[in-house]
Structure 1
């Protein structure tokens, strides 16, 4: 399925209007000599989570959990990239991180299968308990 004109495909069946994504550039730290003081190469991508189309409510909850500190109080997803000296590359890397985050949120975790400890583990635990009990019993003066 192709995304609607003017929208960006984040994952299969998940799109966001291009107008909802705002990318701002600012000065980045790190290597780059004196040029780093003159160029704005850090990309800051902002996207309201409510603007994401095609994300199930459960996936939205998982996205909020996975986003962690990248989710602002206003419900915006904030992804920052300043790894390279190129604004275009940093913008592309930020978009790729957004896609990976949405894809990870769409993946339904397998339910945990309850297991019981094996017989050997239970026996070892009971033997350790008995040894500890005997050790403490031997410490007593009366030796009950």
Structure 2
């Protein structure tokens, strides 16, 4: 998505209807992928390391920022930089798109407001059913006991 802001064109990545991220806030670095890759594994830097500064991002509302930090877990540094490594594919372009997709998905999850839990009370009939089943179970166990015979 291309947006004109103050006479300058900016590429924006749309997350939700209200949240869009400026592409300038995302840094991509191409590194060598680990694991199998044949002849190119030691020559071509196909893996992507995406860095997104969550704490200093002007695109994210405060509540979304807090949820994103919680969701990111170990992928976020002490400075608040989210790091996503993508090396699933053999090409830079596909790994770049994979990293961006994962960032978008993570922010999209953080944008969803959690539903408030309302405390509920059990109904009187459900209490009666619970107590009745406990009574029946206790009765069953009582009938299984060994009977001690008294010696006459």
TM over 0.5: yes
1:78 aligns with 2:83: yes
Q: Give ranges in structure 1 of 5+ residues lacking alignment.
A: 140-144
Using the TM superposition, name which of 101-110 and 88-97 deviates more: 101-110
* Structure-2 separation of matches of 1:51 and 1:16: 12
Which one has the bigger helix percentage?
1
2:32 matches 1:50: no
**Deviation larger for 96-105 or 28-37:** 28-37
Distance in 2, Cα, partners of 1:18 & 1:122 = 57
Please tell me the root mean square deviation across aligned C-alpha atoms, in Å. Answer: 3.0
Count of residue correspondences:
142
The 8 Å contact of residues 89 and 95 in structure 2, kept in 1 or not, is answered as: yes
Residue aligning to 2:33: 28
The higher radius of gyration belongs to 2
> Which protein has greater RCO, CA pairs closer than 8 Å, 6+ apart?
1
TM-score between both structures, scaled by the size of structure 1: 0.76
Q: TM-score, normalised by structure 2?
A: 0.73
Unaligned runs of 5+ in 2: 146-152
